Amino acid sequence: MMVPPSPFLHPQVQVALADEAATLALGHALAAACCGGDLIRLEGDLGAGKSTLARGIIQALGHTGDVPSPTYTVMQVYDTTRFPLAHVDCYRLQDPAELAALGLEDFRRFGVVLAEWPDRGGASLAMGGDLLPYHINSIENPGVLTVTLTTNGPGRRATLHGSPSWQRRWALMASRGVTFDRPVARVGGDGHLREDFVRRAGYERFSLTPMGGDWSGRSYARVTFANGTTRMLMDAPPPQESVDAYAQVADYYRSLGLRTAAIEARDDAQGFLLTEDLGDTTLWHLLQDGTPHTDWYMAAGDVLMAQCRAHAAGNTPTWARRYTPTDFWVEAMRVVNWLAPYATGHATALEDYATWQRLWAPHYATLMALPQGLMMWDCQSPNLMMTGPAPTLHNLALIDHQDARIASVAQDAALLLRNIRTPRDDMREAAVLDALAHGLAVDRAALQQAVEVAGLHHACRILGGLVRLHVRDGRSAPAQAYLARTWDVARQSFANPALRDIVAILETLEAPSLARLTKDTAHA
- Domain membership of residue 185 (yes or no) is no
For residue 47, the domain's CATH number is: 3.40.50.300
Same domain for 382 and 305: yes
Same domain for 171 and 197: no
Same domain for 398 and 432: yes
Residue 2's pLDDT is 44
Q: What is the mean pLDDT of residues 213-224?
A: 87
H or E element in which residue 146 lies: strand 144-152
Same domain for 381 and 439: yes
- Identify the CA nearest to 440 among candidates 303, 296, 259, 250: 303
Lowest-confidence segment of 50-59, 101-110, 406-415 by average pLDDT = 101-110
- Of all residues in the chain, the percent with pLDDT exceeding 90 is 82
- How do residues 224-233 score in pLDDT, each as one tens digit? 999 999 999 9
Same domain for 271 and 302: no
Looking at per-residue confidence, does 240 or 485 come out higher? 485
Same domain for 223 and 320: no
- Domain membership of residue 116 (yes or no) is yes
Q: Domain boundary residue among 175, 207, 226?
A: 175
Residue 5's pLDDT is 67
Residue 376's pLDDT is 94
Question: In whole angstroms, what is the distance from residue 3 CA to residue 239 CA?
Answer: 14
Is the pLDDT assigned to residue 266 strictly greater than 60?
A: yes
H runs (alpha helix) in 132-188 = 164-175
Please, which residues have CB within 8 angstroms of residue 185's CB and are 6 or more apart in sequence?
Answer: 8, 170, 171, 174, 175, 237, 238, 239, 240
At position 424, the amino acid (one-letter code) is: R
Enter the pTM of the model: 0.93
Please, which residues have CB within 8 angstroms of residue 361's CB and are 6 or more apart in sequence?
Answer: 325, 329
- Chain centre distance of CA 119: 31
Q: Domain boundary residue among 246, 276, 306?
A: 276
Same domain for 293 and 272: no
- How do residues 427-482 score in pLDDT, each as one tens digit? 999 999 999 999 999 999 999 999 999 999 999 999 999 999 999 888 899 999 99
Is the pLDDT assigned to residue 383 strictly greater than 60?
A: yes
Question: In whole angstroms, what is the distance from residue 174 CA to residue 290 CA?
Answer: 44
- Chain centre distance of CA 366: 23
Residue 1's pLDDT is 40
Lowest-confidence segment of 40-44, 118-122, 216-220, 396-400 by average pLDDT = 216-220
- Domain membership of residue 5 (yes or no) is no
Same domain for 70 and 137: yes
Residues 349/84, Cβ–Cβ less than 8 Å = yes
- Identify the CA nearest to 142 among candidates 217, 83, 220, 62: 83
Residues 394/430, Cβ–Cβ less than 8 Å = no
Residue 4's pLDDT is 59
- Domain membership of residue 183 (yes or no) is no
Residue 515's pLDDT is 97
Task: Of 32-46, 341-355, 497-511, give the range with the top mean pLDDT.
Answer: 497-511
Is the pLDDT assigned to residue 270 strictly greater than 80?
A: yes
Domain range spanning residue 213?
A: 191-276
Same domain for 209 and 146: no
∠ CA 182-188-189, rounded to 5°: 135
Residues 330/132, Cβ–Cβ less than 8 Å = yes
Same domain for 300 and 269: no
Same domain for 362 and 309: yes
For residue 296, the domain's CATH number is: 3.90.1200.10
Q: Domain boundary residue among 146, 175, 204?
A: 175
Q: What is the mean pLDDT of residues 15-24?
A: 94
**Residues pairing with 385 in the sheet:** 282, 397
Task: Of 60-64, 65-69, 143-147, give the range with the top mean pLDDT.
Answer: 143-147
Q: What is the mean pLDDT of residues 102-109?
A: 91
- How do residues 44-56 score in pLDDT, each as one tens digit? 998 889 999 999 9
For residue 233, the domain's CATH number is: 3.30.200.20
- Domain membership of residue 323 (yes or no) is yes
Q: What is the mean pLDDT of residues 171-188?
A: 92
- Of all residues in the chain, the percent with pLDDT exceeding 70 is 98
Question: In whole angstroms, what is the distance from residue 469 CA to residue 461 CA?
Answer: 12
Same domain for 474 and 347: yes
- Domain membership of residue 2 (yes or no) is no
Residue 152's pLDDT is 76
- Domain membership of residue 72 (yes or no) is yes
- How do residues 189-213 score in pLDDT, each as one tens digit? 888 999 999 999 999 999 999 987 7
For helices 500-522 and 444-471, give the axis angle rounded to 10 degrees: 30
Domain count, the chain: 3
Is the pLDDT assigned to residue 34 strictly greater than 60?
A: yes
Confidence of residue 138 (pLDDT cuts 50, 70, 90): low
Peptide bond into 4 cis (omega under 30): no
- Domain membership of residue 180 (yes or no) is no
Kindly report the average pLDDT of the chain as a whole number: 94
